[in-house]
Chain A
């Protein structure tokens, strides 16, 4: 709970102008201890109307997606395309280390808010631009959604059963994955600034972030092999798949080190499997249908949790296929304090996922997302020194 120990980088300020496409980047920087200010248009970030919602609420505070992706940030409303709003934004940029944005490439520059305009106010600024395909190039103007990032990056083609339509991962993984890459870029740029005193402009691409997944491109280039959908069957190993148990499924991943141990645990297995040739993972993978059918006759004897425990006692990687609530209630996850209670001013108290890391044994504690415009006064008046007349004028202009 001691903030000074778990906040890795206090004292750095981030202006987060992103939609849900880049919101996880700002969240991660916040989890690192930075002061992240979420800048929303006066009507609210579009993510405020993205499901899931709390108990059917569709008001601006009801989106749980917004609540999670913006947890720990402060929130202000500002329209930088209005003259007054533009000036306030530039004043804020002068006091910020990092700016995150996910506008269509060229949009900010067209409003006089390009990298150069930012640099004029903050010469060592770090600008992180996240987009579907990058800031320039033949597809830079393409519209993007999450599934388009997964498709154009190559993950979608290999996801799902070969007899079915390729299947998109849950939530918006291509946004999230590019957001993590963008955060890495921001940290690298901050390191460079501390060494050399210069800023940077980072061009994060959702497509490029996804295209390094699962060796899809490398397999084709190095081996001429086009990876295809294979259900749950891993490309190099068997048994490395989901196997049915009495009450659900277990995920097994058995390499050559663990294969002989599995046979010891597996009472009554077919003596044919004792042939030392099966220690070779490549051979087991070539005969995955046979191996998988044999292993299923074993896994069906157990409850999934019971089998996972038995295998893990022998060091064999096996874990149950959990539902979200199974995961949330798991004693290990609970003991690590990954979920913690958060008091949300509009939604009440609930259990929210925290940072995925601990700092010297302590986890940064999660906090709620900002209400719409919650920190306007704090930021505009107390920090920027905008008087009440000026504030009223900005509101009248529709800038805040």
Chain B
């Protein structure tokens, strides 16, 4: 049966989101067919990513475009009583709310959970706050960067020999939040559909981060110590790590897990130091002499291109991979085979290509992604067609700064 991936078609979700995780969660729902209406206002309620970059045009920030593909835009001032009323009316015509504001911001505007569920008992509400909606630090301001540190991940994400923590320049917790958010959203929509009852989900991004360190916390809890950073070492493989290759800042990773992979590795490297060496005969020996093994491996890799290292080892059945840059990703034959990048020939920031999703539905056509609609571009259609207001009323609201 042929079909498209617009699985959530017919589902309407209002989003109150800013930054990375919340908006991108909306984008991933829109990409699978949901009608995602992003509610913002120039009166203190613009997505902060509209200000990233050098553009003056609030629709032309690359970060904003990236995180809001496929999303519709309603500009309504929530601090105006009429604006808040319109959102309540829309909640009556929507299936779900997605928001990542600090706790109680929407409650103060008369848009709290109880208020909205009075209007729509089946409404699903998914919240993605940094520290959760309840608890002594729930009012804390957090970015993904800070959450990485708080969870223990920054402390763990280092080479053992470093004298200070480095962790990551990035915002890993946001990435976790924007996949967990849509997952919880669809689960809750399904529950609401099956039971006729709405549900509220409090998905703390800090706990989403900690969800990926559960084995480490168990280690700490059961064995009573703080686990140390492992860097690129793996207690079940050697050689295991990231090795310098020919060229500027080129690297290849290699994992040799068992004797079969070890023998294949030795064949490819072809070094007499390796194959016949009794110290390396089993995994225990290889782990014990991991340092020596790593230097020998690097001597072999640094005269070869990263691509050559990967392809010769993979051809022999040894796990290996190029440490790819952004430029490498765009020409990666496997990603191209998956039709991974959505291409936009023309946009406010010029042409670009952008990753679609980590998953494919086999046998289903993928509908092209759309650029975000311009700020406020959907006001007339949303208020007219969904809520039934006439043109004159909508124009008046624009003049009165209800819609702004």
Contact surface of B with A, Cβ cutoff 8 Å? 1, 3, 7-8, 28, 32, 48, 51-52, 54, 62-63, 66, 131-132, 134-143, 145-159, 162, 164-172, 175-176, 179-180, 182-184, 186-191, 193-194, 199-204, 206-208, 210-223, 226-227, 229-232, 234-237, 240-242, 244, 249, 251-253, 255, 257, 261, 314, 317-330, 332-335, 337-338, 340-341, 349-350, 352-355, 357-364
Contact among A9, A150, A168 for B231, CB-based, below 8 A: A168
Known: A204-B359, A218-B352, A327-B210. 18 other contacts (CB 8 A): A8-B199, A67-B218, A134-B360, A145-B319, A156-B251, A159-B168, A161-B162, A184-B179, A188-B361, A194-B193, A208-B355, A217-B355, A218-B353, A223-B62, A321-B155, A327-B151, A338-B207, A352-B217
User: Max chain A CB contacts within 10 Å: which of B150, B321, B352?
Assistant: B321
B268 CB to nearest A CB, Å: 13
Stretch at the interface among A74-82, A312-320, A377-385: A312-320
Of B139, B151, B207, B317, most buried by chain A (CB within 10 Å of CB) is B207
Tell me the smallest distance from the CB of A46 to a CB of chain B, in Å: 9
Q: How many residues of A are counted as interface, with CB atoms below 8 angstroms from the partner's CB atoms?
A: 156
Which residues on the B side are within 8 Å of A155 (C-beta)?
A: 170
Contact (A156, B242) CB under 8 Å given A180-B180, A221-B354: yes
CB neighbours (8 Å) of A231 from chain B are 166, 169
Known contacts: A207-B335, A323-B152. The answer to whether A147 contacts B241 by CB under 8 A is: yes
**Which residue of B201, B251, B359 is within 8 Å of A166 (Cβ)?**
B251
Across the interface, do B142 and A212 meet the contact criterion of CB distance under 8 Å? no
Cα distance, A332 to B139, chains bound together (Å): 11
A65-B215, A233-B169 given as contacts; is B147 within 8 A of A356 (CB)? Answer: no
Total inter-chain residue pairs, C-beta < 8 Å: 483
A216 touches B319 (CB 8 A): no
CB closest residue in chain A, given B184: A357
**Contact indicator A356/B204 (Cβ below 8 Å):** yes
Q: Which residues of B contact A188 (CB under 8 A)?
A: 7-8, 32, 186, 361
Q: Which A residues touch B176, using CB under 8 A?
A: 177, 180
A374 within 8 A of B: no
A135 to chain B, nearest CB (A): 7
- Give 3 nearest A-B pairs by CB, closest first: A209-B358, A220-B326, A251-B149
A201:B169 contact, CB within 8 angstroms: no
A184: contacting residue among B28, B199, B319, B340, CB under 8 A: B28
Q: Which of B191, B199, B253, B255 has the most CB of A within 10 A?
A: B253
Give Cα distance in the complex from A8 to B186, angstroms. 11
B165 to chain A, nearest CB (A): 6
* Bound CA span A168–B156, Å: 10
Can you spell out 13 A-B residue pairs with CB atoms less than 8 angstroms apart?
Answer: A54-B222, A154-B328, A187-B183, A191-B190, A201-B361, A208-B340, A232-B169, A249-B164, A312-B137, A312-B141, A317-B146, A331-B136, A339-B217
Shortest distance in angstroms between A139's beta carbon and chain B's nearest beta carbon?
Answer: 4
Compute how far the CA of A221 lies from the CA of B326 in the bound complex, rounded to whole angstroms.
8
Using Cβ atoms and an 8 Å threshold, which residues of chain A touch B62? 218, 222-223
Known interface pairs A154-B324, A211-B340. Does A319 touch B140 (Cβ–Cβ under 8 Å)? yes
Docked complex Cα distance between A236 and B48 (Å): 13
Expressed in whole angstroms, the Cα–Cα distance for A67 and B218 within the complex equals 9
Q: For the complex, is A144 an interface residue (Cβ under 8 Å from B)?
A: yes
Complex alpha-carbon distance, A347 and B148, angstroms: 30
B175: A residues at CB distance < 8 A:
177, 212-214
**Which residues of A (48-84) have their CB < 8 Å from a CB of B?**
49-52, 54-55, 64-65, 67-69, 71
Q: In the bound complex, do residue B203 and residue A357 qualify as a contact, i.e. CB atoms below 8 Å apart?
A: yes
**Contact A183:B8 (CB < 8 A) given known A217-B355, A317-B143:** no
A234: Cβ under 8 A from any B Cβ: yes
Q: Is the Cβ of B201 less than 8 Å from the Cβ of A136?
A: no
- Residues of B with C-beta under 8 A to A271: none
B341 contacts across to A, CB distance below 8 A? 217, 221
A251 contact from B146, B227, B322, B329, Cβ within 8 A? B146
Which of A88-96, A358-366, A392-400 contacts the other chain? A358-366
Q: How far is the CB of B139 from chain A (nearest CB, A)?
A: 8
Most chain B CB atoms below 10 A, which of A115, A139, A155, A219: A139
Q: Is A167 an interface residue (CB 8 A)?
A: yes
A64 proximity list for chain B (CB < 8 A): 215, 218-219, 222
Chain A 187-201 against B: per-residue CB contact (8 Å), 1 yes, 0 no?
111111011101011
Residues of A within 8 A of B330 (CB): 217, 220-221
Chain A 305-334: CB-based contact to B (< 8 A → 1; otherwise 0): 000000010011111111111111011110
In the complex, whether A278 has a CB less than 8 A from a CB of chain B is no
Given the complex, which residues of B lie within 8 Å of A336, measured CB to CB?
132, 134-135, 204, 207
| Residues in chain B near residue A265, CB distance under 8 A | none
Q: Is A171 interfacial (CB 8 A cutoff)?
A: yes
**Contact, CB under 8 Å: B137 / A152:** no
Determine whether the beta carbon of A328 is less than 8 Å from that of B180: no
Q: Which residues of A sit under 8 angstroms from B147, Cβ to Cβ? A: 319
